[in-house]
Amino acid sequence: MTIDLVVMGLGHVGLPLARAAVQAGLTTAGYDVSGAVVTGLSEGRSHVGGVADADVAAMLDAGFHATADPAVLDGAQTVVICVPTGLTPEGLPDLSAVVDAAQAVAARLRAGMLVVLESTSHPGTTEDVVRPLLEQGSGLRAGEDFHLAYSPQRIDPGNPTWGVANTPKVVSGCTPLCAKYATAFYGRFVDRLVVARGTREAEMAKLLENTYRYVNIALVDEVALFCHRTGIDVWDVLHCAATKPFGFAPFTPGPGVGGHCIPVDPRYLATRAESQGFSFRMLAAAHEVLSRMPEHVVYRALALLGEVRGRPEGARALLLGVTYKADVADVRETPARPVAAGLLAAGVDVSYHDPYITEFTVDGRPLPRATKLRDALDRADVAILLQQHACYAREALGRARCALLDTRGKAVGSGVTLL
């Protein structure tokens, strides 16, 4: 039995892609090595922010199914690889999931199949890593027997405006014919397609998008540090600068960067550049600044505790929002962890409040979770607003009895200390 699409990796990228394909009428299946993910989806439960349980139920009703059996690849006309690309413990790019996925496809590759890599990686991954694995494992040739393409994912979790269908989609192929097949595939459910010159250009475009954010966040973070030292209101500075209708893109400071893309993708670019004898000095400088931000938050919080208690030992700190992004249930690379670790090392009792996260651990140690915000604020000596969830009303935070360190520029009140 043939099937239009098999999505490999049903996480924050793969599941929204599968949903968009199903909604467009494509017969779609999902493959994931996690039994828990497969079971949950099969029972109608979503594990991805922005994809509701009702969405999964509608997908199942339309014929979608998730499986951990690679045999599902046998009848696929198109396979899209959306597996994670993270870092090793040494901070180097980890392509093991991409390699495993490519090998699984190679074992079942057939003539005429379209294979697309969407996982973020350094320029050359499609041609130098995926293509050899597919060709050697199948005996088929890309561009002749099957079609190989790269199309970087542009998923923004929790964004109600931009989704798979209306976000312009960059598409590339190992050959012009490969790009043509990929364009025809994505054109079935994406409104606007942008064809790159080649796979390396498309891969580099994705890294540039996220590195742009990485560098500019670092810039405003360092501006915030300077403004704190010199007594300048950084939030008013940003408000004024953002009124310029040209030549300025607003970014805001915070306690650090999190998520999969921003802390990870620039490392792929830097590592690839270093392997070719090129040094991205701006990335190194940005990394240095961003790495300091959690430490700066800890320093400011300990200073506040010194004012209200005289010493931090035994003081109670409440972290408000431990996810990496507002109103998204995702703690990947969240700066809340190093902030909590720094406070714990100073002898502070740390708890957290977050409506999206029921369990949160730091170095294997679970933090107590507060469920009633007002009571938790009354018990704390200092609260630290790390994430601007919608539930944190600025006036209510400003009326808190405890000291409040606001890293997001959201709260108002006499007891509020800004980053």
- Structural domain that includes position 82: 3-196
Same domain, residue pair 164 and 242: no
Does 208 fall in a domain?
no
Give the tokens for residue 189. Answer: 């459910």
How many whole angstroms separate alpha carbon 334 and alpha carbon 338? Answer: 8
| pLDDT above 80 (res 31) | yes
In a shared domain, residues 183 and 298: no
Q: Are residues 257 and 128 in the same domain?
A: no
Does any domain span residue 123?
yes
Q: Is residue 204 part of a domain?
A: no
Rounded CA separation 127/141 (Å) = 12
Cα separation, 80 vs 182, whole angstroms: 10
d(CA 362, CA 20): 36
Residues 141 and 232 in one domain: no
Does residue 213 sit within a domain? no
- Rounded-to-integer distance, Cα 89 and Cα 111, Å: 39
Among the candidates 196, 228, 245, a domain finishes at 196
pLDDT at residue 263 is higher than 90 = no
- Tens-digit pLDDT profile for residues 154-203: 999 888 899 999 999 999 999 999 999 999 999 999 999 999 999 999 99
pLDDT tens by residue, 78-123: 999 999 998 888 888 999 999 999 999 999 999 999 999 999 999 9
Residues 64 and 184 in one domain: yes
| Alpha-carbon span 40 to 38, nearest angstrom | 6
186 and 273 fall within a common domain: no
Note the pLDDT of residue 62: 97
- The span from the CA of 85 to the CA of 83, in Å, is 7
Beta bridge partners of 416: 404
Give the pLDDT confidence score for residue 249 in this predicted structure.
93
Instruction: In whole angstroms, give the CA distance from residue 117 to residue 98.
Output: 9
User: Which of the four pLDDT bands, split at 50, 70 and 90, describes residue 419?
Assistant: confident
Please say if 261 is a catalytic residue.
Answer: yes
203: in domain? no
Asked if residue 180 belongs to a domain, the reply is: yes
- Which of 161, 196, 231 terminates a domain? The answer is 196
Name the domain boundary from 196, 230, 262: 196
The DSSP secondary structure of 124-176, one letter per residue, reads THIIIIIHHHHHHHHS--BTTTBEEEE------TT-SS--TTTS-EEEEESSH
pLDDT in tens, 353-399: 999 999 999 999 999 999 999 999 999 999 999 999 999 987 788 88
Question: Can you give the three-state secondary structure of 330-354, one letter per residue?
Answer: CCCCCCHHHHHHHHHHCCCEEEEEC
Do 50 and 158 reside in the same domain of the chain?
yes
- Catalytic residue (one of 82, 178, 227, 261): 261
Whether residue 234 sits in one domain with residue 174: no
Q: Give the per-residue pLDDT at 358.
A: 95
Examine the domain organization and report whether 88 and 184 are in the same domain: yes
> What CATH number is given to the structural domain containing 130?
3.40.50.720
Whether 202 maps to a domain, the answer reads no
35 and 77 assigned to the same domain: yes
Task: Give the per-residue pLDDT at 1.
Answer: 76
How many domains is the chain built from? 2
Same domain, 164 and 65: yes
The model's pTM is: 0.91
Q: Is residue 366 in some structural domain?
A: yes
Q: What are phi and psi of 179, to 5 degrees?
A: -65, -35
Give the whole-angstrom CA distance, residue 83 versus residue 101. 8
Same domain, 12 and 157: yes
pLDDT in tens, 284-339: 999 999 999 999 999 999 999 999 888 899 999 999 999 999 999 999 999 999 99
